[in-house]
Structure 1
């Protein structure tokens, strides 16, 4: 029975591999898929991936695709020499699990990734969304009022509902308005502190020295279209300057927070990124890179959530179409 199961599993893997190769040969010439991850592990964050699943996806990437460093992938795509089935890995935000969980797994499987870091987290040791989530989930109060809405917090389900609602209320505000709302929320929940959740400057240096890429992700992780132009430009430039000061070298890449073109950023912000001196910039719009010179400042990425081998691999393969 065990031999039969192993045989079936091998046959399925062979069929998946054939499918990926056919898709790549028909549609994938000189195309780069760029995966985007955020948090990995038991953070409780809504966009956190299970650690075991993340490692399994790394194995699937190695088995069926051609993992490549982002800088190398961009250069080869521009030159028209990108290997088939090429995939690069990116990690957004810069939370502590980037170093404690993701980095060790990348090293274990001899892979690289580029980490896009919001630099306010390096100073405060968290970003605004984690502070909101923490204060709602952990407040001793059994009910709160926030922004003219009342929330019961008796059950954990009610706390999660409140957390998601508060995050949505705050997300598209300017940084100034966001900070005012968060201050109100902290006063209401009677919680004002959060344990360190973010990368340290020393860890950023270690990541870079170990062959990982480091990119900018603004300073405060705002929605750029919610900011006046002067503040948006400052957010973009400040993150670049801080990271370059830490690393002692140029930072070439930028990822737009939230990252959807015409909803979170527009052509005005693309011009700001160019003016700041970045070489390329990345959105979260789904897709891939097929024309570097045309797309270099709004390169699309792919978010891999599927938990089964067949669905993960097939969806990533179909991204080349």
Structure 2
């Protein structure tokens, strides 16, 4: 049924539509704090559905065919952001099982033992054994007071604490954001992990397995809040390091966070284009058509667990094109 529907919504050729799925992590087991996060069983089902319903293409080929109006019907590309180690250890073997390509966008500062600021917050709260996390010694970035106290007796309380803290510090400058996240770990009395992200060797292994690697800045900043020179350095330096690791050109880019206006600006798009990238992806929902700006390709992933609901939401996203 879905194959027929998708053929109508995403035909071949002139009226072709490209759906790009976005993922971040694929956990080996469900996360008790964030049970809706994608785990291995869910990702296996999604790959099985994509194999059955769609023509899954490497992103670079898909964007070329999008521009030349030669996309096959039911065209899909699969992407991952940030560079988590479970992309290599959990997701990539599942992709290989179904013979599916994917593109992995790497924030290079976190390779080889680094850690993203939001994971510092998550793991601080997850590992805290206190009934209450007292952050009253830490000032809110907007100067309106301190970060407060958070009850941690239950998993929902831990989830609420994480979401609240991340909301307070998400749009800080990179250095201040990282420093505050590390201070939160001290308050929580937690030793943070250093194995959440891929190593350089794992990036090479992904490429050797046929996966594509794209740039995602060095430190995952809010590009819209950076000056032109700083934004260009973040983008260009991340690509340069990946090219050194892989020994080949890197032509794809993903905007951190990815919402136009809030997270990246028209100037950000111009920088990516001027640096000679082939295409770039956002996190705006929708699907691409021949007139879509290939430096702002939309992405979307249905969050439903059942096949029927996932397929219905997937088809609904195509209607946005």
TM-score (norm 2): 0.88
Q: Which moved more, 1:169-178 or 1:136-145?
A: 136-145
Structure-1 residue corresponding to 2:229? 230
Structure-2 residue corresponding to 1:19? 5
- The one-character-per-residue Cα deviations of 1:212-259 (angstroms, maximum 9, x if unpaired) are 100011111122123343332222122111111101111101101110
CA distance, structure 1, for counterparts of residue 198 and residue 281 of structure 2: 21
How many residue pairs get aligned? The number is 306
Structure-2 residue corresponding to 1:300? 298
Structure-1 residue corresponding to 2:200? 201
Cα pair distance change 1:24/1:289, threshold 3 Å: closer
Question: Greater helix percent: which structure?
Answer: 1
Cα pair distance change 1:199/1:26, threshold 3 Å: closer
1:86 and 2:85 matched: no
Give the drift of 1:287: 1.1
Structure-1 residue corresponding to 2:129? 140
Q: Which consecutive residues of structure 1, in runs of 5 or more, have no partner in the other structure?
A: 1-14
1:77 paired residue among 61, 66, 73? 66
Q: Which consecutive residues of structure 2, in runs of 5 or more, have no partner in the other structure?
A: 140-145
CA distance, structure 2, for counterparts of residue 315 and residue 85 of structure 1: 15
1:30 and 2:16 matched: yes
Cα pair distance change 1:183/1:37, threshold 3 Å: closer
CA distance, structure 2, for counterparts of residue 17 and residue 208 of structure 1: 30
- The one-character-per-residue Cα deviations of 1:256-290 (angstroms, maximum 9, x if unpaired) are 11101111111011112123331111000011221
1:125 and 2:125 matched: no
CA distance, structure 1, for counterparts of residue 59 and residue 220 of structure 2: 22
- Asked which structure has the greater CA Rg, the reply is 1
Give the drift of 1:53: 1.4
Residues 36 and 304, structure 1, Cα contact 8 Å, conserved in 2: no
Correspondence 1:1-321 to 2 at 5 A: 15-25=1-11, 29-41=15-27, 42=29, 44=31, 46=34, 48-146=37-135, 147=139, 148=146, 149-291=148-290, 294-321=292-319
Residues 40 and 101, structure 1, Cα contact 8 Å, conserved in 2: yes
- The one-character-per-residue Cα deviations of 1:288-309 (angstroms, maximum 9, x if unpaired) are 22136x5011111122212121
CA distance, structure 1, for counterparts of residue 149 and residue 282 of structure 2: 35
Cα pair distance change 1:229/1:181, threshold 3 Å: farther
Residues 111 and 199, structure 2, Cα contact 8 Å, conserved in 1: yes
TM-score (norm 1): 0.88
- The one-character-per-residue Cα deviations of 1:58-101 (angstroms, maximum 9, x if unpaired) are 11111111111212211211211111111111111110110011
Give the drift of 1:184: 2.5
After superposition, the CA RMSD in angstroms is 2.1
